[in-house]
Amino acid sequence: MPLDVRRTLVDRDLATKPADKGGLSISKQCAVLEIHRSGLYYTSRPVIDEDLQLMRLMDLLHLEDPTKGTRMLAKDLADHGFAVGRARVRRLMRLMRIKAVYCLPRTTVIDAAKYKHPYLLRDLKIERRNQVWAVDITYLPVKGGFMYMVAVIDVHTRYLLNWSISNTMEAEWVTAMVSEAIAMHGKPEIINSDQGCQFTSEAYTAMFRKGGVAEGVLISMDGKGRAIDNVFIERFWRTLKHGHLYLSPPVDGIALYRSCARFIERYNNKRKHSSLGYRTPAACYRAAA
């Protein structure tokens, strides 16, 4: 059951009754429903306009050069007239789910068995559809705010299999999107993602265990700080943002959804890729059936 639905089941009137008359405290109801009590009282704070401007600019800068960290981004923002510190840049980067890409010195060799989900694509020859899917979440700006998009792509054909837009990043949202993709296209052999909390959550990993919709599918996860391990979905984000959204920014969530739907229809069925022999992703995916 999704988290937002479980929160609606909390009965505040029941908490006012004595225990001998069927009363149940808020904390006990939350324990039964497996939710955090603080989530019932939390009211989201609106994002200030300056933060939205910073996030839009940071997204552009990150897409142009994903190796820049907080120090370089703060300097670039200063060049554009925004005097902000690294702490604020770091906070917004976390909110946007972007990280600097860099290689760490390999001074310690860690036992691979201790990784719950290792990276499985290194040196793997991907030569057929549904062999490897890549799934990821990105930040999308709209007028007066922002939203998130999750999508899954077939690595061999570059065909975008399924996608969804939300104003939160709940694990259940990601799980529902992937489950729907499997229902539409069948199971892949491997699904690759980053190490975000949505992809390490119980809701997501439960799909791959016995009885789950993705039973038998292998989980692959990027190395820490290695965005290029999921390069194909990252390349799609760049195309979507630079080639479409930033040219005509949507005014709200509905406009964003419709705009993305038009772009993805064109991307799958009309946009030819040189790496595919100048064929469309849809043509390659269907031809491989």
pLDDT at 197 over 60: yes
pLDDT, average across residues 48-55: 88
Asked if pLDDT for residue 105 goes beyond 50, the answer is: no
Q: How confident is the model at residue 44 (pLDDT cuts 50, 70, 90)?
A: low
Instruction: Tell me the whole-structure pTM to 2 decimals.
Output: 0.71
CA distance 191 to 131: 9
Do 66 and 72 contact (CB within 8 A), yes or no? no
* Cα angle, residue 285 at apex, residues 283 and 286 outer, rounded to 5°: 65
Give the pLDDT confidence score for residue 116 in this predicted structure: 67
Closest CA to 98 of 263, 243, 258, 241: 241
Please list, in sequence order, all residues whose beta carbon lies within 8 angstroms of the beta carbon of residue 36, skipping any fewer than 6 positions away.
Answer: 30
DSSP characters over 212-267: STTTTPEEEEPPTT-GGGGHHHHHHHHHHIIIIITTS--SSHHHHHHHHHHHHHHH
Superfamily of domain 117-287: Ribonuclease H-like superfamily/Ribonuclease H (3.30.420.10)
